[in-house]
Amino acid sequence: MGSLDPQVIEDLGKGVIQLLSDGTVLRSNNIDFDYPLDKNDGSVLIKDCQYDEKHQLHLRMYKTPSIITSSRKLPIVVFIHGGGFCVGSRAWPSSHNCCMRLATGLNALVVALDYRLAPEHRLPAAMEDAFSAMKWLQDQALSEKVVDDEWFHDVEFDRVFVLGDSSGGNIAHHLAVRLGGGGGFEELAPVRVRGYVLLAPFFGGVARTKSEAGPSEEHLTLAILDSFWRLSLPIGVTRDHPYANPFGPKSPSLEAVSLDPMLVVAGEKELLKDRAKDYARKLKDMGKNIHYVEFEGKEHGFFNNKPSSKAGNEFLQIVGNFMSENSA
């Protein structure tokens, strides 16, 4: 007679997350990170805030102490972390360290948001949360206290950029489509998004790409990517669902959708490279303002795992140029 105990039906390994046959989700609180949390020497100010009371969601803000060097105020970079929609947090080293670097390297106010994770909260929960964070930003801009707020008095709410890493890049895409051209000003005024940076965006599809069928990466395999999709997509759908595949057979056409400028970045050796490259090519063929950059020899996470590396510094320069070009 078989065991009546729930069985593990999905396991991301190392006890990070397990889904049992009865729907129970087990998450580890003792994750062995490959990179330590960078210490703050006081060069970056940090503050945690709740942006969604209903779902108990928080964000973390980063900025350098105000030094009046020019009349121009700081831009805002909204950072959306990766993790296959299933894991990750603003507090993880992979998010925290790169946000520290973004704040100093771009001289910006960085707003790093948490969002509801799958499988407890399947898509589109994460996408809805990203929009809620933008509405929170609007609330701060409209507050009567904004002039005296040490975090917002020296920023430009109409110069916002959204930077999404991996699954965060996917979320950034859906946010861009939802807000449309004009930075979502009609919905978010006085907040205005000037552009989107999609770093190794996590897109999928039933048909395998050449890069997906290639060698596994050091920390990422096709099996893990597939598990993420099974855990995050609505039950019963395939990887061609619009949440995963912007150009799937049932995905709405983006031809007539007005989109703000986009920068898509991927590593040459990433499993997701071909999807990122194809995404950029198809949108460019539609006449969208989109630029694709590929980092030679790099795998997934080359920036957020090592934000102060040579490649990390080059990425920051490219993002900085993109922001300057789209700040008018």
Q: Are strands 74-80 and 109-113 parallel, antiparallel or unpaired?
A: parallel
Active site residue 174: no
Q: Please tell me which residue in 81, 96, 241, 300 is annotated as part of the active site.
A: 300
Side-chain-side CA neighbours of residue 125 (13 Å)? 19
Q: Check: CB of residue 29 under 8 Å from CB of residue 78.
A: no
Active site residue 166: yes
Q: Please tell me which residue in 81, 95, 156, 166 is annotated as part of the active site.
A: 166
Q: Please tell me which residue in 156, 217, 270, 299 is annotated as part of the active site.
A: 270
Q: Give the tokens for residue 49.
A: 């805030």
Judge if the upstream peptide bond of residue 234 is cis by omega within 30 degrees of 0. no
Q: Which contacts (CB < 8 Å, 24+ apart) does range 19-22 have?
A: 19/119, 19/231
Tally of helices (H runs) and strands (E runs) in the chain: 7, 11
d(C-alpha 11, C-alpha 18), whole Å: 5
Active site residue 270: yes
Q: Give the tokens for residue 328.
A: 């008018």
Q: Where are the beta strands (DSSP E) in 139-252?
A: 155-165, 193-199
Catalytic residues: 166, 270, 300
